[in-house]
């Protein structure tokens, strides 16, 4: 049985974007992501902006 690769060996997203938030904004984003069924704010944001990214992606 071949071991599956995980973590950084399969990660395709390498760029980072920093965003400054108020503590209340961060709490709100985490709550909204959780309510939408996402484990992270990143996943929630990427789902929300996915169609916009596709329209401009090279």
Half-sphere exposure in the Cβ direction for 43 (13 Å, CA): 11
pLDDT in tens, 15-38: 999 999 999 999 999 999 999 999
Residue 21 CA to residue 41 CA, distance in Å, equals 13
pLDDT score of 11: 78
pLDDT exceeds 80 at position 5: no
Question: Which residue did the predictor score with more confidence, 58 or 45?
Answer: 45
pLDDT score of 57: 81
Domain layout of the chain by residue ranges: 20-56
Q: Do 44 and 36 meet the contact criterion of CB atoms below 8 Å apart?
A: yes
pLDDT score of 10: 72
pLDDT score of 13: 86
pLDDT exceeds 80 at position 51: yes
């Amino acid at each position: 049985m071949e071991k599956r690769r995980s973590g950084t060996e399969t990660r395709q997203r390498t760029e980072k974007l920093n965003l400054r938030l108020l503590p209340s904004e961060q709490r709100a984003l985490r709550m909204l992501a959780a309510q939408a069924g996402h484990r992270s704010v990143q996943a929630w944001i990427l789902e929300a902006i996915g169609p916009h990214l596709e329209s401009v992606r090279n």
